[in-house]
Structure 1
Amino acid sequence: MAIAATTRRLSASERLRRSLGNGRVTAALILLPPALLIFTLFVMLPLGESVWYSFFNWNGYGAPTDFVGLENYQRIAGHSIFHKAVGNTLKIVAISILLQMPLALLLALLIYRKTPTNAVFRLIFFLPFILAEVAAGLIWSFVFDGNYGVTASIAQSFGAESFFILADRDWAFVAVMTVIVWKYFGFHMMIYIAALQSVPEDLIEAARIEGAKRRQIVRYVQIPHIKPAIIVSAFFAIIGALQVFDIIIPLTNGGPSNQTHTIVTYLYTFGLTRLNIGFGSAVGVILFFAAITVAIFYQRFFMGKDKA
């Protein structure tokens, strides 16, 4: 046992010496403290303050003194508009996975090969993602305008009355989801294109020689090879859906009648704009832990299986 312990100590010493020799420990000692400092200052401390403020009825001025315990969380749990915001967020998650990602994959399969024409199409489809969210929201607010927008022109060309889609309780969120799909499908498309370009051409050619049709090649050769990219894309879609804010504010500002709120716009409207910082902090804490839960679950049950 003494010999084994000595061997383990020597092995540890040898590993330390080698780490010092190749600079890994030195690099860690130099780079890790600044990273930890930045993470503490800009993530952990604000999160801790949000948790603390969520237990107060506080307007953001002065020090919080009106301690209310879990009252803010109870108000959130009983607020019908928060339930609507959660439902809308889940709808965005669903539309991102069921429509946005398949559309991006279809286009990627059509234009992933390196040709001048495909390069032009990739640029065209990727441009909406480059456009700032606020700018995209403002552009589409004019498109959907019932007086002089594109929808109004189309309605008038068919002899129909103008339709104010952003003012309609039933259709406003459909318009929001349309803009979200248009804005972000190019991002997922580029992920798939990068993955498809790494699929060995020998496999595709071998499948053709064996008599496989285009659909079979996609299903049994290309999609299995780009599965890791699809998993990462789905993760970005889910986390992004939890953070949708910049598009909705210029489009509908949560209206009409609070029908198009997401969790983040709910936080902004009922927390920040009304100077109810304690209430808004409670919403932020709920959103943070929801995102963390999704990330851990996804890492454990999807990304972990893919690595295995």
Structure 2
Amino acid sequence: MKTTRPRSLRLRGFTTILLFLLPALVLFFGLVVAPILLAFYASVFKWNGMRGLPTDFIGMANFTRLLADEVFLGDLWRGLLLIILSVAIQLPLSLGIAMLLNQRIRGRAFFRLLFFAPYVLSEAITAVLFMMILSPTEGLANYILGWFGVDPLDWFADPSSVMMSVFIVMTWKYFGFHMILYIAGRQGIPRELTEAAQIDGATGWKVFRYVTLPLLGPTIRISVFLSVIGAIQLFDLVWIITGGGPSHSSETMAVTMFQFGFKRFQVGYASAISVVMFLISLVFAVFYQRYVMRRDLEGASTVLGDQR
């Protein structure tokens, strides 16, 4: 009896846990795993998405077509451009504002709310708002530029500047989220460390450079990870504002996938694009967690191990 009772209790506990997890597992496999497997399956077929499952097997032809598709190759370059701009401009801007709003200044709670508010808005509302602000004829931006004698700009209609315009919208939409991450990370740094550095004669910049910034490392690495993944999968803002135009100059991989899958009904080819997006994101995530966030994950594992 003494040997069977603990086993029965463990079995009962395992059954209870499984029952609680079952609804989440069903949703996860039905809404995440199954679509991924279906995309892999459809990517090796020529299929219009109609009349049941695909049957016209073409092997790797869709992926070979991707390598010769100038639009898709341009999508890769535009995605890389957004990643570089986000890491080089958007995140440092968020960090600078976060450090400023961490100081004891009047109205800092209001400014935190003000800068975070754009992130709460949906992508559709943000897109429509900036379509009005950056309108070439009646937009507020060109009206203000006119005060300084600058000719009106075609923000979203000029192929040479459309990606920068999209990046401006991205920055306005998402920098508040990263700002809040940095503020939370900064508040997690013990005040004694900065005070000790100041007692030793460190100036404000040196305190930030040698104390605050290194201790913000885990938060910054998470922020970079989210920013890169978001740039790879960007869809809503671009689709509503430009639809990928003019002349594909603002298309992203997600927009191209949507165009072929739901506009041209080339679901097999669109599935191949989605598979490439998934693999790029997966490879980046694995590499980033393995080599960049390794110390952060090991530290989390150590803490969890000590709590057991």
TM superposition score normalised by structure 1: 0.89
Q: 1:159 offset after TM fit, Å?
A: 4.5
Check the 8 A contact 1:54/1:278 in 2, yes or no. yes
Letter in 2 for 1:38: L
Q: Does 1:51 align with 2:40?
A: yes
Check the 8 A contact 1:104/1:189 in 2, yes or no. yes
What are the within-5 Å matches in structure 2 for residues 1-308 of structure 1?
A: 17=6, 20=9, 25=14, 27-63=16-52, 64-113=54-103, 117-308=107-298
- Output the CA distance in 2 between the equivalents of 1:24 and 1:186: 43
- Output the CA distance in 2 between the equivalents of 1:287 and 1:261: 14
Alpha-carbon distance change, 27 to 186 in structure 1, aligned in 2, over 3 angstroms: farther
TM superposition score normalised by structure 2: 0.89
Alpha-carbon distance change, 160 to 112 in structure 1, aligned in 2, over 3 angstroms: closer
Alpha-carbon distance change, 297 to 148 in structure 1, aligned in 2, over 3 angstroms: same
Alpha-carbon distance change, 146 to 226 in structure 1, aligned in 2, over 3 angstroms: same
- Output the CA distance in 2 between the equivalents of 1:19 and 1:77: 57
Q: 1:274 offset after TM fit, Å?
A: 1.2
- Structure 2: 5+ residue stretches without partners: 299-308
Letter in 2 for 1:279: Y
Q: 1:250 offset after TM fit, Å?
A: 1.8
- Tell me the C-alpha RMSD between the 2 structures: 2.4
How many aligned positions are there? 295
- Output the CA distance in 1 between the equivalents of 2:7 and 2:199: 51
- Output the CA distance in 2 between the equivalents of 1:202 and 1:156: 51
- Output the CA distance in 2 between the equivalents of 1:162 and 1:202: 52
Letter in 2 for 1:211: G
- Output the CA distance in 1 between the equivalents of 2:30 and 2:297: 33
Alpha-carbon distance change, 83 to 108 in structure 1, aligned in 2, over 3 angstroms: same
Structure 1 stretches of 4+ moved >4 Å: 16-21, 113-116
- Output the CA distance in 2 between the equivalents of 1:156 and 1:241: 32
The residue number in structure 1 matching 2:304 is: none
Q: 1:162 offset after TM fit, Å?
A: 2.6
- Output the CA distance in 2 between the equivalents of 1:24 and 1:233: 37
What's the % identity of the aligned pairs? 36
Check the 8 A contact 1:19/1:25 in 2, yes or no. no
